[in-house]
Chains A and B, each alone.
Chain A
Amino acid sequence: MLVHLQGAWTPWLGRLTLSQIPYNSPIVLGAFVFALLMAVPIVALFTYYRRWGYLIREWITTLDHKKIGVMYIIIGLVMLLRGFIDGVMIRTQQLLADGPRSAAHLQAVHGYLPPFHFDQIYSSHGTIMIIFAVTVVLTGFQNIIVPLQIGARDMAFPYLNAVSLWLTAAGAALVMISLFVGDFSHAGWVGIIPLTELPYSPGVGVDYWDWALQLSSLGTTLGALNLITTIVMMRAPGMRWFRMPFFTWATLSTQTIGLTAFPVLGVALALLSCDRYLGTHFYTAGLGGNLMLYTDLFWIWGHPEVYFIILPAWGIMSEVIPTFSEKALFGYTVMVAATLSIAGLSWAVWLHHFFTMGAGPGVNLVFSVSTMLVGIPTGVKVFNWSLTLYRGRLRFETPMLWAIGALFLLLVGGLTGMMLAIPAINYTVHNSVFVVAHFHTMFLVSVFGIFAGLMYWFPKVFGFRLDEHSGRRFFTFFSLGTVFVFAAMYILGLMGMTRRLDYLYDPHWQPLLIIQEFGIFLYCVSVFYFCKMIYVSIRDRAKEAHGQDVWQTSRTLEWMTQTPVPFYNFAVIPVVHGRDAWAMRRDSGLTATSPDQYEDIHLPNNTIVPALLGGLAFGFGFGMVWRIWWLAGFSLLGIIGLVILRSFADDKGFTLKAAMVRRMERNHEDTGIMTDHISPPVAELMLFQ
């Protein structure tokens, strides 16, 4: 039943041989040395300071939504750096390989990257940036902030939350290991059909892409389920629907999209896997198959995914802009309606990704109109943010700078999106870098939103502010880089440059390619300032430490609790009396949060099971990629066995006594430090005590 493949295969190692490790490629070797240089100091520091036990007890086994959120963000930022390096390589190759007389370096005929390597880089760039960087960082924010904003102690299902994280980590690890063992897909992040079918891609690259997406999409679906349940069931007393902070509304809309759309991706990829492993013909051109079905299924997920990425960023902007305008969000109810309607419309626009496939004019017309309809609620949002800024007491601190930057990018991305919604224009610029520039502009709205959120909530999570001086330079160089790269790219697209080119035939594009490369250089400078900002902030953390509300004008419930937030979130669950609960309390002079009476707090124990499940999921994915059947089989059995075993574990969590809560809170108020900080015990360690 299994498809017979040409080439070596052994029962123990499947298709894996020593020759699959590309140690003769100078670029891959360089990447390996870079990864070593990054990893070795971290491992050495943990070993020198003997912090491995701490890492396992407090982080790897944690079920605390804040720590899980931080780990999501760290994974996302690492992947963002990897994806950025891919982007630098793509643009540099295109600059060097322009025209027949362009120079050749390394193993390439033009430029420095051979076509097969270039194809893998643009595929991994897209996959990483969308699935493993932006999505993951935004999920991290939602994990950290939503329970705090609704006054909950944790997520509805803390254990499931950790499982989601480790499944995502397993998917990201598969993408990363493909750099050093085997290849990555060369069929683009969308998995261009029939290029992903076995006859056209007999290697392991497509399988890496496939299983990495499968694992992470499972994690995202479970995470969506968890966040929706948390928002519906875990709100503090008095937190009615229309008292919820706007970021929570954005999360609810986002995760509804996630819960409904990601299973479609799972199905699309499962059918592709059946074609590649079992020899079925779901997406082949013969034997009853239909390769257009893949494109349809992929974009049924793909366009909702766009809003899955953009809505949380708009949620962040809707928190940052009111805080730094020192007034409430204008038109809260309309904003909620706009967000929900965008989530609904996201399910009715996917065909605009393949207007040129050949469907009838009636179909293209309907999807064109539905796409343009998205412009209405989006326009409402832009006006509402503008009217929030109008007559506000504006403070241009770094979070506000990123939010305003996102607003400008949204105008550019939104208007070019309206252009692309018109089938006649879409036919003209289809597959050109004009489209690439458009969707990068929209994704950069998310990235700007992410950095706004990072600057805004970092002090809440870690207790000290990020360095404003380096932060401003980071923003300036990043924004300038964006202008140079993508303004040039829009023009190149209108000049007819198509996407995914490893060799450019027209030397007249050279000046604009140089401008793009200059923009890439500015991005590199911004990365330097980002690293400097983190370094300076940690170095000066004592100087930048602050109380519960660092910005003094923030409005929502997360600013009410201690900073950094204790693992139980709130000493006593707050009662909410209106929208913008924290601003209401501050305006009424009720900022003291010490209750008269403390209460026992029940919390879940930490557990190693989610991390083990992530490890087994990675083993399963790796086994499937290389067709090491014993590894895949044992990993799958391990997952099933562990889930069943855990379901029988008599783990009822632990209770933090009221006296301890009082002592910790009082101590924190006196010294600003959680000196009596304790964490939930690890369930498995308790078995040995």
Chain B
Amino acid sequence: MNPHPADPLDHPDVRNASAVGFVAGYAASVGLMAIALMVTLQHEMSYAGFVIAIAILAGLALLAQALLMFQLNLSGAQRWKTISLLLVVPLFVLSIGLTGWMFHTLYPRTMLDFMQVQGNGM
């Protein structure tokens, strides 16, 4: 059995946490998602530009959470978290990629004004 630390707060994983990093990660995530919401509500960008902007904002929010909130790095103490993050990549590709492909073939068959919608940037 692993030796049990007297105080759970002394555990290396807990010690790795940082209050400043947590608050900064939280603030950055909320801020980036608020910007995404405003971009969505304003309806001022073209369809392609809108999709790219939202994707970039989502990526930045993900990075902010990974680096600031969870303090991810490549050290040995963080290896399980790093592996967990890497395991997300194939799932991300499968779920988002296959969903995108499915809708790409579905829309022209089920939504008659699909091309027009894209063209108008709605």
Contact = CB atoms under 8 A, between A and B. Distances in A.
Interface of A: 153, 232-233, 236, 256, 260, 264, 288, 292, 296, 300, 347-348, 351, 357-360, 362-363, 366-367, 573, 602, 652
Contacts of A367: 98
Contact of A358 (B87, B90, B110): B110
B80 A232 contact: yes
Contacts of B87: 256, 260
A358 B94 contact: no
A358 B91 CA distance: 24
Dominant secondary structure at the A interface: helix
Given A256-B87, A300-B95, A602-B4, 13 more contacts: A260-B87, A260-B88, A296-B103, A347-B94, A348-B98, A351-B98, A358-B109, A358-B110, A359-B106, A360-B105, A363-B105, A366-B98, A367-B98
Interface in B90-122: 90-91, 94-95, 98-99, 101-103, 105-106, 109-110, 122
A296 B96 CA distance: 10
B86 interface: no
A348 B105 contact: no
B1 interface: yes
Contacts of B102: 296, 351, 359, 363
B91 A260 contact: yes
Nearest to A357: B106
A292 B110 CA distance: 10
Contacts of A573: 1
A355 to B, nearest CB: 11
B106 A347 contact: no
Nearest to A362: B105
A359 B99 contact: no
B6 A652 contact: yes
A358 B106 contact: yes
Contacts of B106: 292, 357-360, 363
Nearest to B4: A602
A358 B109 CA distance: 7
A304 to B, nearest CB: 10
Nearest to A650: B7
Contacts of A256: 87
B103 A292 contact: yes
B54 to A, nearest CB: 13
Contacts of B94: 347-348
A357 B103 CA distance: 10
13 contacts: A256-B87, A260-B88, A260-B91, A292-B106, A296-B102, A347-B91, A357-B110, A359-B102, A359-B105, A359-B106, A366-B98, A367-B98, A652-B8
Contact of A363 (B4, B8, B101, B110): B101
Nearest to A651: B8
A602 B122 CA distance: 61
Dominant secondary structure at the B interface: helix
Contacts of A296: 99, 102-103
B7 A652 contact: yes
Nearest to A261: B91
Interface of B: 1-2, 4, 6-8, 80, 87-88, 90-91, 94-95, 98-99, 101-103, 105-106, 109-110, 122
B61 to A, nearest CB: 14
Nearest to A602: B4
A282 to B, nearest CB: 12
A455 to B, nearest CB: 32
Contact of B99 (A260, A300, A366): A300
A260 B93 CA distance: 13
Given A260-B91, A292-B103, A360 B109 contact: yes
B79 to A, nearest CB: 11
A358 B103 CA distance: 10
Contacts of B4: 602
A278 to B, nearest CB: 12
A288 B99 contact: no
Contacts of B90: 347
A360 B105 CA distance: 5
B45 to A, nearest CB: 13
Nearest to A264: B95
B38 to A, nearest CB: 15
Contacts of A153: 1
Contacts of B109: 358-360
Contacts of B103: 292, 296
Q: Which 3 pairs of residues, A with B, have the shortest CB-CB distance?
A: A360-B105, A573-B1, A358-B109
A472 B106 CA distance: 51
A484 to B, nearest CB: 39
A300 B109 CA distance: 22
B122 A288 contact: yes
Nearest to B96: A300
Nearest to A361: B105
Contacts of B80: 232
Contacts of B98: 348, 351, 363, 366-367
Contacts of A232: 80
A429 to B, nearest CB: 22
A292 B104 CA distance: 12
Contacts of A351: 98, 102
A362 B95 CA distance: 17
A334 B109 CA distance: 43
A264 B8 CA distance: 32
Contacts of A292: 103, 106, 110
Nearest to B88: A260
B24 to A, nearest CB: 20
A351 B102 CA distance: 9
A166 B1 CA distance: 29
A233 B103 CA distance: 41
Contacts of B1: 153, 236, 573
A367 B98 CA distance: 10
A12 B101 CA distance: 48
A9 B8 CA distance: 48
A371 to B, nearest CB: 13
B44 to A, nearest CB: 14
Contacts of B110: 292, 357-358
A366 B6 CA distance: 54
A566 B94 CA distance: 45
A623 B34 CA distance: 27
A116 to B, nearest CB: 30
A362 B101 CA distance: 10
A673 B37 CA distance: 63
A347 B95 contact: yes
Nearest to A653: B4
B82 to A, nearest CB: 14
A15 B24 CA distance: 40
Contacts of B88: 260
Nearest to A236: B1
B60 to A, nearest CB: 19
A602 B88 CA distance: 35
Nearest to B106: A359
A233 B4 CA distance: 13
B39 to A, nearest CB: 13
A236 B4 CA distance: 14
A362 B102 CA distance: 9
Contacts of A264: 95
A503 to B, nearest CB: 30
Contacts of B101: 363
